[in-house]
Homo-oligomer: A and B are copies of this chain.
């Protein structure tokens, strides 16, 4: 489907845009079902937070109506929203005022095998580490060379995702997923204070788990703890939850907590 740039059908962008020059912007990748973006409020909240932290001014009402109108055009698929700081002067200094640019693109839902959600996936252990930058941690910004390098490490389709640690060796996330684990009966997910992307599905799972009486603890996780975990699963806003069944020599059965959270998501898949 045709893309929109600042609300108009377009497939091209001014090369003066700061997203091209510096990756100066943010994005959201939304699952669309029956013409509606799933987890829409969470996507908008994360984007608002990111724009606040990067000081990109955003017309929230305009953006919301634009995203909803764009998604209403198709039954099912992926809508990707990019918000940039807009056209720039030469040099890093953010123009004042900046006029944010909005880009909407669509794609079919990725053809992930159903077995990923049922039997689980094998994780590729990426050598690429995530640098620790608290000022950008959690944001879904456009500076994604670390993910490009990490995803370039494997071609073997036997690995559905890759595991990324930070430069200090802590477990952080997948290349395009967040990660949870059950350790000594407790549900944990890595802290994203130093690096990593705070996914909307991660937030949704934390909330649904809490509502079901399972408190998720966000803290630093070591590789040793991951290896000792009773269960591991991945999540993102497109596929929901994938159990992890293998990392290196360690093999996990799909656990009860993972199955329970999959069921909780399935009950109201498009909510919030």
Query: Which residues does A use to contact B, with CB under 8 Å?
Result: 3, 5, 10-24, 27, 54-55, 78, 80, 82, 85, 90-94, 103, 105, 107, 110, 128-129, 131-133, 135-136, 141-152, 167, 175-176, 195
Output the least CB separation between A95 and chain B (Å): 10
- Cross-chain contact A78 with B90 (CB below 8 angstroms): yes
Q: Smallest CB-CB separation from A24: which chain B residue? A: B148
Query: Which of B20, B135, B152 is close to A19, meaning CB atoms less than 8 Å apart?
Result: B20
**Can you list 8 A-B contacts with CB-CB less than 8 angstroms, sorted by A residue number?**
A20-B142, A22-B143, A23-B23, A90-B107, A92-B147, A131-B131, A131-B136, A143-B143
- Cross-chain contact A148 with B22 (CB below 8 angstroms): yes
A21-B144, A22-B148, A105-B15 as given contacts; A110 in contact with B91, CB under 8 Å: yes
Q: Smallest CB-CB separation from A144: which chain B residue? A: B22
A14-B12, A15-B12 as given contacts; A94 in contact with B152, CB under 8 Å: yes
A91-B151, A133-B131 as given contacts; A142 in contact with B15, CB under 8 Å: no
Find the residue from A18, A105, A128, A133 having the highest chain B CB count within 10 A: A133
How far, in angstroms, from A15 to B103 measured CA to CA in the complex?
8
Nearest 7 interchain pairs by C-beta: A23-B23, A131-B131, A143-B143, A131-B133, A92-B151, A22-B144, A12-B12
Residues of B contacting A176 in the complex (Cβ-Cβ under 8 angstroms): 91-92
Query: Which of B5, B18, B55, B110 is close to A15, meaning CB atoms less than 8 Å apart?
Result: B5
Residues of B contacting A78 in the complex (Cβ-Cβ under 8 angstroms): 90
Query: Which of B12, B93, B94, B151 is close to A94, meaning CB atoms less than 8 Å apart?
Result: B151
Residues of B contacting A27 in the complex (Cβ-Cβ under 8 angstroms): 21
Q: Smallest CB-CB separation from A108: which chain B residue? A: B90
How far, in angstroms, from A27 to B10 measured CA to CA in the complex?
26
Q: Smallest CB-CB separation from A162: which chain B residue? A: B92
How far, in angstroms, from A149 to B176 measured CA to CA in the complex?
25
Residues of B contacting A143 in the complex (Cβ-Cβ under 8 angstroms): 22-23, 143-145
Residues of B contacting A195 in the complex (Cβ-Cβ under 8 angstroms): 131
Q: Smallest CB-CB separation from A18: which chain B residue? A: B148
